[in-house]
Amino acid sequence: VLPDILADGGPAPTSLPTGDYPSADALIGAMAGAVAGLRGRYDNIAAVGCGVPGLVDFDNGHVNHITNVAGWGNVPLRDILASKTGLPVLVDNDANCMAYAEFRHGAARGLRNVVALTLGTGIGGGLIIDGRPYRGSSGAGAEMGHVVIDGDGPPCNGNCPNRGCVEALASGTALAREGRTAAEREPDSALGRARAAGREIDGPEIVACARAGDQVAIDLLALVGRRLGVALSGLANTFDPDVIVLGGGVMDAGELLLGPARAELRRRALTPQNEVPVRAAALGADAGMIGAAILARDEISSGAEVTH
């Protein structure tokens, strides 16, 4: 199910580590340079699509926050990059892009109403409503990582003033936090031994321990999965979607996370919303990039304005 944009002859992905660039300006300059490099190799590049892991105002193409990268408050990325490249530019939230990629070419292909979440450092959300991306009235919507599942829960990240959001309780960051606590509490578990050996107790380590049969790690992934299922029950009741698609790095846990999440959703949601399929994303880590590219192509070819 590889999208045509990545088929033979299309541009190969180019990777720029954000950490190598000290400021938003420097990174945008490098992005423009990468675009120029691709245009030297391909003659059919018509637009640039950016999927940003953070808060984006789609309507004006501003980036208001990037998870774990400083210096991105109210940056007019779309206009700067359009000016530097001379190409039309689309800037969207990466989870919106992932949702669109899965809708066009992945786990939600051919369906109409899609709720998508990306489970990474944070939790991003993307929505397809009646076959079209839904971004809300000011272009900032679909932030389903910030629905509350425990009103008195822990504070969310610095950019979100809420407490007990599903991001605060079921993101990769939350999983790692719980993992560190569990490793300390259970020194004889595989997770505890990993800690004693000086390994970082993060999502990949927890997933590795769980896959090796460590019950502490398995229970942790199940706990986080159930928390995710609490949020999914509300989203299912609200949207009555055709499918819920879950992607992002934490989904490397596979059924260890997805099974408990699905079970909790089944237990909590109304009939018939409790029957909604919950699927792992099909396009993997490239889904956001693929979605940004095809969104830029589709929104330009449909005549929608994507740059000033």
Residues at the site binding a copy of itself, with contacts judged by CB under 8 A: 55, 57, 64, 111-113, 125, 127, 129-130, 134-144, 146-152, 159-163, 165, 227, 230-231, 233-235, 237-242, 267-274
Among the listed residues 278, 218, 224, the one whose alpha carbon sits nearest the alpha carbon of residue 247: 278
Please, which residue, 51 or 145, has the CB nearer to a copy of itself? 145
Shortest distance (Å) from residue 232 CB to a copy of itself: 10
Shortest distance (Å) from residue 248 CB to a copy of itself: 18
Shortest distance (Å) from residue 238 CB to a copy of itself: 5
Shortest distance (Å) from residue 224 CB to a copy of itself: 13
Please, which residue, 172 or 241, has the CB nearer to a copy of itself? 241
The answer to whether 73 and 159 are in contact (CB under 8 A) is: no
Please, which residue, 86 or 136, has the CB nearer to a copy of itself? 136
Please, which residue, 9 or 158, has the CB nearer to a copy of itself? 158
Please, which residue, 170 or 194, has the CB nearer to a copy of itself? 170
Shortest distance (Å) from residue 129 CB to a copy of itself: 5
Please, which residue, 32 or 107, has the CB nearer to a copy of itself? 107
Q: How far is CA 106 from the centre of its chain?
A: 15
Find the radius of gyration of the CA atoms of the chain: 20
Tokens 């299912």, residue located: 236
Rounded to 5°, the CA angle 166-167-171 comes to 110
The CA distance from 205 to 118, in Å, is: 19
Shortest distance (Å) from residue 307 CB to a copy of itself: 22
- Please, is 177 exposed, middle or buried when counting C-beta atoms within 10 Å of its C-beta (0-12, 13-18, 19+)? middle
**How many CB atoms within 10 Å of residue 292?**
25
Reading the block at residue 7, the tokens are 């088929």
The answer to whether 177 and 196 are in contact (CB under 8 A) is: no
